[in-house]
Amino acid sequence: MGNDEKTIKEVKIHLHKNFSIKDLRPLKYLIGIEVARSPGGFVISQRKYTLDILEDCGMQRCRPSKFPMEQNLCLTKDDDSKEVDAAKYRRLVGRLLYLTVPRPDIAYSVNQLSQFLNCPRQVHMDVVHRVIRYLKTTPGRGLFFPSSGNLNLIAYCDASWFSFPTTKRSNIGYYISLGGAPVSWRTKKQSIVSRSSAEAEYRAMATTVCEVLWIRWLLEDFDYKKDYATPLMCDNEAAKHIAENSVYHERTKHVEMDCYFVRERVTSGEIKPCKIKSKLQPADIFTKALGTYQFRFLRDKLGVRNLHSPT
């Protein structure tokens, strides 16, 4: 990786002399991921892989869906619907998991479906089919990485309190962009039960800070040291206040270790907690099922583009 063509060629020649390698030239297709380049940047997508899923399921002519999961839908294990073929369900969810590499817009839905691999029911299979119907609308959609712009690192974090009714655990999500391009995102069920929404949000903040620090260290390895704090956008005022105020105790006694960790990074100038409106929070798409308008709005903020849409 580099911006010096002469040095890159010298490295290739050196490697070729010592190892048996094959130069595949500019990347176009690799392990199911397609790369399309343009003067404005490049897009990675899995169009062929998506079409293969539709063909294998016999859903080429199915009715498309505008969003992958019904708003406010709550999936549980104790559902009264009939059991389905577990092997088929696992195979479909596994294929969708790989598809989340260039498709963060389906990450939350697939994460929810992954909770029921042991004993899937018909209601869970119906959601799988809905995700596939959503993919049919734009099989060529993928992530856009611009070729120009700054290298500003911005992080967003969010949590959905008590989003898993069976275990009473919360769901956390974060999204990190570099120069306006997505570089890291995640949706995850918290490992313990949070006693308040502020605690759930703060634990999401601590998880995001860990990822931000790793990316900052990685950029330093590329000889790009960031001398300013990385903005951490959070829509919970209480969590932001806890991160900045070392004597705010009433909501921190259950998250003491996370408090010290985040505050230390805020004090060192590596992280700067910032407030963002909930409607503008892109990490919201990783913590709950949204309606059509809000889902599309946040999906576009993630940098997900349709490569084959008319210009």
In a domain, 67, yes or no: yes
The CATH number covering residue 176 comes to: 3.30.420.10
Main-chain dihedrals φ then ψ at residue 28, nearest 5 degrees: -125, -35
Question: What is the token pair recorded at 67?
Answer: 């969003």
Are 128 and 207 in the same domain? no
Tracing tokens 């849409």 back to the chain, one arrives at: 309
Of 152, 172, 197, 145, the residue nearest 40 (C-alpha): 145
**Predicted local distance difference test score (pLDDT) of residue 27:** 83
In a domain, 26, yes or no: no
In a domain, 100, yes or no: yes
Sort 55 into a burial class: Cβ within 10 Å, 0-12 / 13-18 / 19+: exposed
**Predicted local distance difference test score (pLDDT) of residue 26:** 82
Q: How far apart are CA 160 and CA 250, in angstroms?
A: 21
In a domain, 309, yes or no: no
Are 107 and 227 in the same domain? no
Please list, residue by residue across 80-104, b when 16 or more beta carbons sit within 10 angstroms of its beta carbon and e when fewer do.
eeeebeeeebeebbebbeebbbbbb
Are 111 and 203 in the same domain? no
**Predicted local distance difference test score (pLDDT) of residue 227:** 80
Q: What would the 3-class secondary structure string for the chain be?
A: CCCCHHHHHHHHHHHHHHCCCCCCCCCCEECCEEEEEECCEEEEECHHHHHHHHHHHCCCCCCCCCCCCCCCCCCCCCCCCCECCHHHHHHHHHHHHHHCCCCHHHHHHHHHHHHHCCCCEHHHHHHHHHHHHHHHHCCCEEEEEECCCCCCEEEEEEEEEEEECCCCEEEEEEEEEECCEEEEEEEEECCCCCCCHHHHHHHHHHHHHHHHHHHHHHHHHCCCCCCCCEEEEECCHHHHHHHHCCCCCCCCCCCHHHHHHHHHHHHCCCEEEEECCHHHCHHHHHCCCCCHHHHHHHHHHCCEEECCCCC
Are 163 and 247 in the same domain? yes
In a domain, 299, yes or no: no
Any idea how long the chain is? 311
In a domain, 295, yes or no: no
Rounded mean pLDDT for each run of 10 residues along the chain, 311 residues in total: 84 90 83 86 90 89 88 78 89 93 92 89 92 90 86 90 72 90 89 77 87 91 83 83 62 62 84 89 90 90 76 48
Are 156 and 282 in the same domain? yes
93 to 4, 98, 140, 166, 227: CA distances (angstroms)? 42, 9, 19, 21, 42
Domain of residue 172 covers: 151-286
Task: Give how many domains the chain has, as a whole number.
Answer: 2
Q: How far apart are CA 187 and CA 110, in angstroms?
A: 10
In a domain, 10, yes or no: no
Are 172 and 101 in the same domain? no
Instruction: Note the Cα 44 to chain centre separation in Å.
Output: 15
Are 182 and 133 in the same domain? no
In a domain, 119, yes or no: yes
